[in-house]
Structure 1
Amino acid sequence: MIYDAVETANREELRALQAERLRETVRHAYENVPFYRGVLDEMGVSPGDIKEIEDCGRLPFTTKEDFRAEYPDGLFAVEWDAVRRIHASSGTTGKSKIVSYTEGDLDVWRSVMARSLAAAGVTADQVVQNAYGYGLFTGGLGFHDGSEALGASVIPVGGGNTARQIDLLQDLESDVLACTPSYCLYLAEKLDEQRIDAEDLSLSTVVIGAEPFTDPMREEIEDALDVTAVDVYGLSEIIGPGVSIECAEVQNGLHIWEDHFYPEIIDPETGEVLPDGEAGELVLTTLTKEALPVLRYRTGDITSLTREPCECGRTHARMDNITGRTDDLLIVRGVNVYASQIEETMLALADVAPQYRIDLTREDSLDRMEVTVEHHEGYGDTPTALETRIRERLEEVLSVKPDNITVVDPGSIERTEVGKVQRVFDHRE
């Protein structure tokens, strides 16, 4: 469902709107954020130099280190009496980054989240069970406000408490579940343990985000819960969830709401802007943020862009699924490895369950990589046979071979009910 006419605007109209908003964003940041004024002056760039959206490339990058250096409110562009809400990043890769919102920012957030949920196929007559965490994490309130703006009913259950989640799914006949992909899998296991058939639930859609996942994991979720699983993307520094989302009709890339967030893909090593279709680091510039305008934020997420119109009719750029993070790159014996490569390769095997962990250790100055994975229920062969198949597949894909692969019974690897799941454990430091 098209929620806002701008979703189908032609590229010329969109570029003109982006240019107008970029000019205002740069002026606002320059005049009200000492950090940006200092960096722009040092680069010899003034707000008047920014005329077209292509001029975005003349602006400085913003990094998570800049957020930490300016902690807590050095990047705010408004006085505290204009701030209506504070959120913070999860802090999974370091100290939390504090983010602020004016009333206008909250209106934009509600709007892009309502737009996102509509693209995911959510309608005003449905019930949304929100299992994202409420509080400083942006997921809970982002989904809550967006669902209400769309007109849907919201069950604000928050993260965890799986027994209650299952009761609510059954008793209130929830149509939509919003949560992390790892929690979807955890919930599916608990339904199976209680001998509850997912087909007997009213659940038709899950909107999953907050952690990377692969297409094989999505297929596991859709099969286990008998749903359509739609990928949503966002990050606290930009606004929260609602930066981009897949459309339920096509599920081929996440539509970035370019009227509010301008995307670029850069080479993570050189900073050079890459053409559409090439994978690199996603960079985002906010175009309408008041309290916290952000110029060319290096997200650390690896993806690619296409600006070809989608079959659903939307014209905004689409980003591919996140395939890794620049700061999650594993360097094993001098070779670059992404956990997502390992996951996608293993889960392509039908007998492998979507629960795994990677342990990195160092013995006598040599790196060791060990992979532990669960087999599916009903697997009839020996663990050794499956270990051999996994090793053969990984050796075809990876430039470095795992030192050990262990297949364990279902349920052996520790689960988490809340938060982002940890799959990589680096014991080398």
Structure 2
Amino acid sequence: MTAVLAVVIAATATIVIDEILHKVVRRVGRRSPLAADLARKVRRPFLVTTVLVAVQQAIRVFAGDFSFRAGVLHTLVLLCIASSAWLVAAILLVCEDVALAKWRTDVPDNRKRRRIKTQVVMLRRVTVAAIVVLAFGVMLMTFPGIRALGASLLASAGLLSVVAALAAQSTLGNVFAGIQLAFSDAIRVDDVVVVEQEWGRIEEITLTVVVVQIWDDRRLILPTSYFTTKPFQNWTRTGSAVLGTAEVDVDWSTPIEPLRAELQKVCEGSDLWDGRVCVLQVTEATGGMVRLRALVSANDAGALWDLRCLVRERLVGWIWEHQRDALPRMRAELRQVEATATPQTRRGTARVYTTGLDATSEQARVFSGGDDGDTRGIAFGGPDPVAVSRS
């Protein structure tokens, strides 16, 4: 009876003290974000841990010998270890929130802040995983049989580590890759990347996987080892400003300068343009058409996409309205065929142009027909098979 009363008193007193401390911390939290976060996230694990410790000590001191004493005390020890791990993890979560609140990512030019956010999140996950493993190990070591087994297996720890490493090679590789990504600065949370021919944003980085939010709100989930073993594009590695192109095919007779003036007008009239690059160039002139490439710049990838679409739309509309003769066209030459030709041959008649060079001329050959051509032929064709057979 005394033991039960002692347990009730200890638990009640602990709850009352915890409630008083909680109110004090909440009052302090009105002026301190750290205290407010502690009062909100650490209250439950702290309450559970202190109550379990108080109950355990009350039983040890006031309870005499009874049939289940060892089992009850052992259970309380296990619960205390688990609740202590919960408390430490909650404190780490509060520390992470404080760090992330100081380095907010919803600001312009947030490259350094995104790197710190990625490292803080990864460190927290590694630490929480280590706490869970250590807590589980300490709980197992409270059993005498397992403690003796652990001492006997200590001599063969090398063999066990090799077997475990081979069995979990892929998982451990992803874990180490996740840690490497956190500190190599190759990718960060909110980075814009192109992976597997998909354009998206790094949404989450864990120890084993990286979640990429694709532009159409799909999620591409890749192992962390992918970003350490395969090439990918990072559009925000050193900054968010990027360049992009919009291509238009026109006829050879198209005057280019009016189109350059129209492109400049479109860029200057749009808030998507960042004022850095606005260039119109002829990149190809083959196949009966001229390809124009408008190169523009924007502050981020999303604005660049919209700006490219706007430039393409305005250029197409301006050409249709002011330069319809500039539209791509196919040219063909018609000739009058002889009267003896059949209707079938008339349809397929085409003009044949000759160069005036003989097919055996040196000007018609690259890998033969001269000292220089023969040298190239030997280099690309290998040794003479006749000479090889004679040797």
Fold shared per TM-score above 0.5: no
Larger % of strand: which?
1
TM range (shorter): under 0.3
TM-score normalised per structure 1: 0.18
Q: Which has the larger radius of gyration?
A: 2
Larger % of helix: which?
2
TM-score normalised per structure 2: 0.20
